[in-house]
A and B are shown apart, each in its own frame.
Chain A
Amino acid sequence: MSEVLIQVLWVLGSVLVLLSLCIIANKALREMRERRGARIRRDLEPRILEYINGKGERLAALLPPPRGMERQVVEEVLLDNARFLKGKARARITAACEDLGYVRDRVRQLRSPRWWKRAEAAEKLATMKSPRAAPDLIALMRDEVPDVRMRAARALGHLETRTSIKPLIEAFRDPNRWSALRIADILSGMGPGAADELMESFATLPIKARVAAVDCLGRARSHRAAALLINLLSDPDRDIRARAAHSLGLIGDPNFTPDLLRSLRDPAWPVRAMAAKALGKLGRPEAVAPLREALKDREWWVRINAAEGLRSMGEKGLAALVDAIEAEDRYARHAAVATLEGAGVLDQYVEKLASPDEREREKALVFIRKIVAAERTDHLMQTAARHTQEKVREQLSRILAPGEVKA
């Protein structure tokens, strides 16, 4: 019995020792590989950087033909630098990737039976930005794995070629396989070409995709889309009207003000909220009074956007907010106070309580009493407890004492 036990223990011990040796050897090998990689990078990187910075016509002429690990390192250096460059240097990286066969290798990898290999290849091709990869990436958009499909779409977005726009717009038509929002994200980064194609296909898109497409037109800041977006402010679908208002705000042409002022009276609150936000961005003085009125809206989102809109309109907008502190409407008062707090206006007045100038102090007292009368005192109470100056703390505590200010 004891002999059997000894044998079992011996076998177990041997397995453990063997496993430990394997782990140590594997670690040592990995470290050796990393050190070798770092050494190769140190050797090759200066020549690769010289090429990226304009030396020579081809990187292949500056390097010995890279093989094995060297080949891997050269690709790594090129792609690392591609992350933060644009313009001529970026184009030279793409040319080197094509010339040294990295694009060809990664296109081949797109056909790997392992999905993560296909995803990795799509990712690398996105950074290489070679239009030569477009047909294979378009084909990859039919991959069975959603993650691979999405990486193919993103890679096509990076290519910024006309051929890659159409399949992305087509993806909009298939909501079961594609997230319209993510496709819109990709298309909006592709510039005016994508916006033009999107406008052409707009009428034929399903409704969900249209909402995302409207967003995309705004984020692409496409002025050419203005007429379509203004028309969409009267669309029967409220989500489309709301996104159209938002997109007009992003494009930011002050001439949109009259159309957006009409949307500020839309029966659907999401449209009113987006119109308020957009009007704030356009910053036209004729929008101040309607936005001041929108502070009374029964929907909090509209009120908050109207207040934020006024805040972003500078002096006139802030004056309207200060004025709204005394509004009869409780919602308008609260929205105005919350926004003035956020804009730091309230803190500025609190600081003036310690001013040597008596008139400044008096002005600050009047303003703070209005805030107390508006029944939004959380911020003031916190400041009264924490302010560094005793004088300010005392004055605030006095104003905040019950019965001090009558509404």
Chain B
Amino acid sequence: MSPPRILVADDDNTVRRFIVTLLADRGYEVLEAADGEQAYKVAERAKPDLMLLDLIMPFRDGFDVLQDLKRSPETASIPVIIMSVKDREEEIVKGLNMGADDYVVKPFNSLELVARVRKILEREIRRAE
């Protein structure tokens, strides 16, 4: 069985490289996107098992990408974890209402992030069974 595939979309190279290493070390296959446009294209093409999505990105912001992902039947079922420095209640609620499965505020705890990723992937596997 191939390892779960996770797309990390963040325009900050340091953050992206950190998360990629964090997840790759735990055996996940990790894809990367450095802006909103690329994030949507990679998600549409590769259909990852989970997507970590930053909100503030060039070309298209995370909310915009999330909205389009959830609109299209092809990508609507991809679970999304929003990762953002935006920590206001309204933004968190907006993200979750738009269909995100979880919302992680930066700065984040890396072990907690891995636990959230694992939990969502396990839920998806149970759902598929």
Contacts and interface: CB of A to CB of B under 8 A. Distances in A.
Interface of A: 45-46, 49-50, 52-53, 77, 80-81, 83-90
Contact of B107 (A50, A80, A86): A86
A88 B110 CA distance: 8
Contact of B21 (A50, A80, A88): A50
In order of increasing CB-CB distance, the 9 nearest A-B pairs are A87-B109, A49-B21, A80-B14, A89-B110, A86-B107, A84-B106, A84-B107, A86-B109, A84-B15
Contacts of A46: 21
A53 B22 CA distance: 6
Nearest to A77: B14
Contacts of A49: 17-18, 21-22
A84 B113 CA distance: 12
Given A49-B22, A81-B14, A84-B14, 15 more contacts: A45-B17, A49-B21, A53-B21, A80-B14, A81-B18, A83-B107, A84-B106, A84-B107, A85-B18, A85-B107, A85-B108, A86-B107, A86-B109, A87-B111, A89-B111
Nearest to B10: A84
- The binding surface of chain A is classed by DSSP as helix
Nearest to B114: A53
Interface of B: 12, 14-15, 17-18, 21-22, 25, 106-112
Contacts of A87: 109-112
Contacts of A77: 14
Interface core residue of B12, B18, B108, B111 (most chain A CB under 10 Å):
B18
14 contacts: A53-B21, A53-B110, A83-B14, A84-B14, A84-B15, A84-B106, A84-B108, A85-B18, A85-B109, A85-B110, A86-B108, A87-B110, A88-B109, A88-B111
Contacts of B108: 84-86
A80 B112 CA distance: 20
Contacts of A90: 107
A191 to B, nearest CB: 15
Contact of B25 (A50, A85, A88): A50
B87 to A, nearest CB: 12
A52 B18 contact: yes
B101 to A, nearest CB: 21
B55 to A, nearest CB: 13
A84 B22 CA distance: 14
A81 B107 CA distance: 10
Nearest to A55: B25
A46 B21 CA distance: 8
A53 B17 CA distance: 12
A159 to B, nearest CB: 16
Contacts of B18: 49, 52, 81, 84-85
- Point out which of A77, A84, A86 has the most chain B C-beta atoms below 10 A from its C-beta: A84
B31 to A, nearest CB: 18
A64 B17 CA distance: 22
B19 to A, nearest CB: 10
A373 B94 CA distance: 35
B25 A53 contact: yes
B26 to A, nearest CB: 9
B92 to A, nearest CB: 16
B104 to A, nearest CB: 11
Contacts of B15: 84
A49 B112 CA distance: 17
A85 B25 CA distance: 17
Nearest to A45: B17
A259 to B, nearest CB: 24
A83 B14 CA distance: 10
A45 B108 CA distance: 20
A190 to B, nearest CB: 16
Contacts of B22: 49, 53
Contacts of A85: 18, 107-110
Given A80-B14, A81-B14, A84-B15, A89 B109 contact: yes
Nearest to B85: A84
Contacts of A80: 14
Contacts of B12: 84
Contacts of A52: 18, 110
A63 B112 CA distance: 27
Contacts of B112: 87
B85 to A, nearest CB: 8
Nearest to A92: B110
Contacts of B21: 46, 49-50, 53
B20 to A, nearest CB: 9
Nearest to B26: A53
Contacts of B17: 45, 49
Nearest to B23: A53
B114 to A, nearest CB: 9
A59 to B, nearest CB: 15
